[in-house]
């Protein structure tokens, strides 16, 4: 499964300098494929190809771009099972989840970009002039390993829909699904240079993208620390920066909610994608009077988790992505024990004798807001239950974080829930287990980033605004 070439200027090309990296299957701890690691020279070649292509692609009609998108969508649907299997192999997502969520949600973003493009008003009359929206230019897209195709599609789809050209760097940890996606894009017949892919690591290829003078926008999803580095590098060329960074989302279960149901749903939401999910509700806030009921419900939820081979359709939780991620999660579980939290379920160590970076689904109770497990993004299946006495205290705890990506509110009273949600400083708030929606904006407050993805808001991240004055009909 070696994929040693890059996709640049309409074809598969050799890297400027030979350097390879093994792709690890986290369920077996074995290397099963290799990719090439790119360099600044590869980024330069891709960025210049994208710049040349932008001159004509930016002038294509709405109908031409819709035709390209629909061909990509058709190719994606045809190869969805293959895409799902690659994500299972490269980052450990259970095959059922990879198929029904990982790959399917990525397809949603392609479909949503086509829906928005179909009738988007690129020119609008405003007072004495016209406001026109035009493609921003060459876009550098840097995506993470935890939702490999979801984040690729949520960036590539609106970029192509608006008339921009692209240089994509997928995560070197989980690159193979993106390589197959590049094949799908190629088969859709986009003009050479419109879509380019260069594999590599963040300090080399990612930083070259962020600083390249031919790139007009960089869209980055990843850690807050890496996002700060990207923003600093981008500042020298005053390029636009859109970022979706870390999270430490609070799940406020109010005293009029069905406590057992809300806790069970909250545990499973926290464990989505083995907890490797930026908006996971990892802080569960429960009324102090319902402490024991919450602990009992959490144990019940953990017992329903099925750890196992991610290629087994019955598995609901696979391994973490790497040894380093496993070690980080173990250290944070130990910190929760050391700082005096009550271990409700799970704990240290591996739950299986077989290979794989599996961790025990873990729940801590009696967590205080200053504990490490309540403040740091763990990126593993570890839930912190924090007790509160009043709604005001719960809102204060929810907002006591440098992050602000998402929030969750559970209540039997919709008006009360809405009043609480308005006061949560986060970019997206879910009521009573509401499902994912591809059309509504996604993005963060505070150190969870800036800019928005999904739907019309994600579409407009790739557009410049121009005023035409003195216009006469």
State the CB neighbour count (10 A cutoff) for residue 2. Answer: 12
SS3 238: coil
Token pair for residue 166?
């692209």
**Which residue bears the tokens 């380019």?**
196
Predicted local confidence at residue 76, as pLDDT? 98
pLDDT in the model for residue 284: 98
Chunked mean pLDDT (size 10), the chain, 473 residues: 96 97 98 98 98 98 98 98 98 98 97 98 93 98 97 98 98 98 98 98 97 98 95 97 96 97 98 96 98 98 97 98 98 98 97 94 98 98 98 98 97 95 97 90 96 96 96 70
Beta-bridge partners for 364: 343, 384
Domains annotated for the chain, with CATH where assigned, are 6-245+447-469 (3.40.605.10), 250-437 (3.40.309.10)
CA distance 324 to 318: 16
Is 464 annotated as catalytic? no
Which residues are within 8 A (CB) of 336 and not within 5 positions of it... i.e. 6 or more apart?
Answer: 343, 364, 367, 371, 372, 373, 382, 384
pLDDT of residue 290: 98
Q: Which of 112, 214, 244, 461 is catalytic?
A: 244
d(CA 410, CA 432): 5
Distance CA 362, CA 333 (A): 8
Whole-prediction pTM value? 0.97
Is residue 362 within 8 A of residue 382, CB to CB? The reply is yes
pLDDT score at 140:
98
The pLDDT value given to residue 438? 87
292 CB-contact burial (10 Å; exposed 0-12 / middle 13-18 / buried 19+): exposed
Q: What is the pLDDT of residue 436?
A: 84
Whether 278 sits among the annotated catalytic residues: the reply is yes
The pLDDT of residue 473 is: 66
Separation CA 134–CA 39 (nearest Å): 31
- 278, 377, 453, 461: which one is catalytic? 278
Output the six-digit token pair for 345: 């379920």
Identify the bridge partners of residue 386 per DSSP, sorted by sequence position. 285
């Amino acid at each position: 499964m070696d994929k040693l070439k890059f996709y640049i200027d309409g074809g598969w090309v050799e890297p400027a300098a030979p350097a390879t990296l093994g792709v690890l299957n986290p369920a077996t701890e074995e290397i099963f494929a290799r990719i090439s690691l790119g360099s600044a020279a590869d980024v330069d070649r891709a960025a210049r190809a994208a710049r040349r292509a932008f001159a004509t692609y930016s002038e294509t009609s709405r109908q031409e771009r819709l035709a390209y998108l629909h061909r990509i969508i058709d190719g994606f649907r045809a190869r969805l099972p293959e895409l799902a299997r690659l994500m299972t192999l490269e980052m450990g997502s259970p095959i059922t989840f990879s198929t029904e969520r990982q790959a399917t949600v990525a397809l949603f973003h392609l479909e949503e970009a086509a829906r928005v493009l179909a009738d988007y008003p690129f020119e609008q009359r405003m007072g004495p002039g016209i406001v026109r929206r035009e493609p921003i230019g060459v876009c550098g897209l840097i995506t993470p390993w935890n939702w490999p195709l979801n984040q690729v599609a949520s960036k590539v789809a609106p970029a192509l829909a608006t008339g921009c050209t692209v240089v994509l760097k997928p995560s070197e940890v989980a690159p193979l699904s993106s390589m197959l996606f590049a094949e799908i894009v190629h088969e859709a017949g986009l003009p050479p240079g419109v879509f380019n892919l260069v594999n590599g690591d963040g300090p080399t290829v990612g930083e070259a993208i962020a600083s390249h003078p031919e790139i007009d926008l960089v869209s980055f999803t990843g850690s807050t620390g890496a996002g700060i580095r990207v923003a600093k590098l981008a500042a020298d060329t005053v390029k636009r920066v859109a970022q979706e960074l870390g999270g430490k989302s609070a799940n406020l279960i109010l005293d009029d909610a069905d406590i057992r149901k809300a806790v069970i749903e909250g545990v499973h939401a926290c464990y989505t994608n083995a907890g490797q999910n930026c908006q996971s509700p990892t802080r569960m806030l429960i009324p102090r009077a319902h402490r024991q009921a919450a602990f009992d419900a959490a144990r019940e939820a953990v017992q329903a988790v099925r750890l196992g081979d991610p290629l087994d359709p019955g598995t609901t939780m696979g391994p973490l992505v790497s040894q380093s991620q496993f070690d980080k999660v173990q250290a944070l579980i130990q910190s929760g024990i050391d700082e005096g939290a009550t271990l409700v379920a799970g704990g240290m160590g591996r739950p299986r004798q077989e290979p794989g970076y599996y961790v025990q689904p873990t729940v801590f109770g009696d967590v205080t807001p200053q504990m490490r497990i309540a403040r740091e993004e763990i990126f593993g299946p570890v839930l912190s239950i924090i007790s509160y006495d009043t709604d005001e205290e719960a809102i204060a705890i929810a907002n006591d974080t440098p992050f602000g990506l998402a929030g969750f509110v559970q209540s039997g009273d919709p008006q009360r829930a809405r009043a609480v949600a308005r006061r949560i400083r986060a970019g997206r708030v879910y009521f009573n287990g509401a499902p994912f929606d591809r059309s509504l904006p996604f993005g963060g407050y505070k150190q969870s980033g800036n800019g928005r993805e999904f739907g019309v808001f994600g579409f407009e991240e790739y557009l410049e605004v121009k005023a035409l004055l003195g216009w006469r009909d």
